Amino acid sequence: MNTTGSKGIGKHPLIEMLGVTKVYGTGQAAMHALRGINLRIDQGEFVAVMGPSGSGKSTCMNILGCLDTPTAGAYLFEGISVGKLSRGQRALLRRHYLGFVFQGYNLLNRTSALENVELPLIYRAIPAGRRRSRALEAMEAVGLKGWETHTPSELSGGQQQRVAIARAMVTAPMVLLADEPTGNLDSVRSKEIMDLLTTFNQKQGITIVMVTHDPEIAVYAKRTIRFLDGVIDSEEQNGGVG
């Protein structure tokens, strides 16, 4: 893995978990969130992750996003063991390879849509001119050309989620991690967001891993993984939508 080089398809799976466990606490208070997960996700896949509350899906996503580390087992990203990286190296992996979309949008309320989209580029020390131009392109790609100066309070929920997706995509990540991206939206806006994610997956080859509780949203993915009690309970191939 090279955070300054091209993001090509290597000989390894893009993402691989090998016997990953995660335990919080010790002794009788220990809580086993993951119990030996084996998972492979290849470049360009669109995977839905489902399961009841407490099933381990959120813990798995946090490990995939380098926001947490396994208690045991290995998480490999392009063949590199993430657990052996320093905290700073994991931060670089997040910054250069991963994009995040959340149910609650997580936008800065007093900042324009365009400035919200520019934010990840500031962390990467991209010069202001290039930053602005890439953010404008990302806004246009999510169908928000002309809305750049609006603040989140001036946007609908669907528009706010589009800004959040533009912010995630502006760095051209290899992987987009989406946590209930339609959870706060009605059915019409949900379809718009899922059509947008499907387009990024199919046209740009972005790998998407999406947590959802809604079976009608999960069918947009090509594969559904179901968690239960800290293990992968089932996997199935979907037709995908689009």
3 state SS for 124-170: CCCCHHHHHHHHHHHHHHCCCCCCCCCCHHHCCHHHHHHHHHHHHHC
- pTM here is 0.91
Any domain includes 5: no
3 state SS for 19-37: EEEEEECCHHHCEEEEEEE
pLDDT score at 238: 83
Helices first, then strands: H and E counts in the chain: 7, 10
pLDDT at 17 over 60: yes
Any domain includes 6: no
Any domain includes 3: no
Any domain includes 9: no
- Write the DSSP symbol of residue 109: T
Any domain includes 48: yes
Any domain includes 208: yes
For position 87, which CATH number holds? 3.40.50.300
Picking from 146, 171, 162, the residue whose alpha carbon sits closest to that of residue 196 is 162
Any domain includes 112: yes
Domain count, the chain: 1
pLDDT tens-digit series, residues 30-88:
999 999 999 999 999 999 999 999 999 999 999 999 999 999 999 999 999 998 999 99
pLDDT tens-digit series, residues 205-230:
999 999 999 999 999 999 999 999 99
- Structural domain of 149: 15-237
Q: How confident is the model at residue 11 (pLDDT cuts 50, 70, 90)?
A: low
Pairing of strands 223-228, 46-50: parallel
Per the CB < 8 A criterion, the answer to whether 21 and 36 are in contact is yes
